[in-house]
Structure 1
């Protein structure tokens, strides 16, 4: 059983992608590079576990660290997602937060060659020894129900990424607010 035997290792592939609504892109255009994100309305997620800047990587290992003065600073992914869905800006959110909106076309990917570094899906426990029955049952349930779903979501986004890679390049709009 992966969860119980490998704590505190990363259990699932996960990362964040840059997303916004099609309406936002229609009104403001799409940035052509990470640096152009500063000219757009960004929706930042900040809480004690998430740093305020966006750390982005691409497939050839380039790294961009961006700091914004966005319109909205949210402490939950759901709030940032809601504002993005309403056309309020561009956000960087985990796959498991945006998957339904992506599947239904309510969010589009911005700068598809860029994403966050991998983030972990962890179970944090004070000790691997002497786990009580409730904790063991919860870990087993997570292993059976949550981990496969996160892995499936990651596979969906990897397949989607492949379509971005094979699609002919299109000119990006450079409209801004």
Structure 2
């Protein structure tokens, strides 16, 4: 038996595992279905175990296949990145870039940047996935994600862009009817909207400029995992909310919202570009990440990383 790994068979198996179909994998790879099937069979014979369970209606990974599919996909991704990197040194960045971005942030901050990106790199195409869930970058086939969170230790790589500040705000109508609180503890007796994207949506921790710290337990008539859905109630004067600065920046500049307790700060949260652990990255991904980083770091709401 050859001492060299059957890299072609591993790559073909990775695409079959990802698509769940010999025919779809064959189409994506530009091969015949028979060639794809033979490559997987060759790999199974080589390692001495079945990777796929085949029936007339269904194709599924075996336990062994499921265990190694992610590693095989990583092998394919690294090889594609290596080849793309070599090609991109002499060619215009081109191809599909898949990114995952939080819903409101993507709509308000990322989507308006994409026309400039696509004009600058006309051979790049973007697949933008919007959602507040934490996606599996490797399993989902994403090139990178933008995340607003304190990142847990993992094999993923993170490039911090800036800090996102949580700001306590109210509408002028609310202030006219109820006045401004003078201390965070007064919020316990006022209606406050819970932003569930925060890890402690019903508990706000304030720090004064001189260092005093106060934690406030809240209650209110509305709680949501999306900040945009809180803004109508906030603007109507029903209550107060602590929302990310990028989400309310325009309303603050226009005077439709007022910052409350400006001498007390809520925690900041880093905005980061997060990528899979592969060291090689196609130029199309690199230029997209650099473009977004350079644009977002200049945003008027962006706070310098601490």
User: TM-score scaled by structure 1?
Assistant: 0.74
Unaligned runs of 5+ in 2: 1-156
Q: 2:162 aligns with which of 12, 19, 24?
A: 12
RMSD: 1.9
1:134 Cα deviation from its structure 2 partner: 4.2
1:111 counterpart = 2:261: yes
1:50 Cα deviation from its structure 2 partner: 2.9
Conserved? CA contact 1:74–1:80, under 8 Å = yes
| Higher RCO (C-alpha 8 Å, min separation 6) | 1
1:60 counterpart = 2:213: no
The secondary structure found in structure 2 opposite 1:87 is coil
Q: 1:78 aligns with which of 200, 222, 228?
A: 228
Query: Number of paired residues?
Result: 146
The secondary structure found in structure 2 opposite 1:103 is helix
Conserved? CA contact 1:14–1:118, under 8 Å = yes
Unaligned runs of 5+ in 1: 1-6, 156-177
Residue by residue over 1:89-111, the C-alpha shift from the partner in whole angstroms, topping out at 9 and shown as x without a partner, is 10111111111000100001111
Conserved? CA contact 1:17–1:114, under 8 Å = no
**Correspondence for 1:25:** 175
Q: Distance in 1 between matches of 2:240 and 2:171?
A: 8
1:74 Cα deviation from its structure 2 partner: 1.1
Q: Give the greater-gyration-radius structure (CA).
A: 2
User: TM-score scaled by structure 2?
Assistant: 0.44
**Correspondence for 1:51:** 200
Q: Distance in 2 between matches of 1:8 and 1:117?
A: 20
Distance 1:62 1:135, change over 3 A: farther
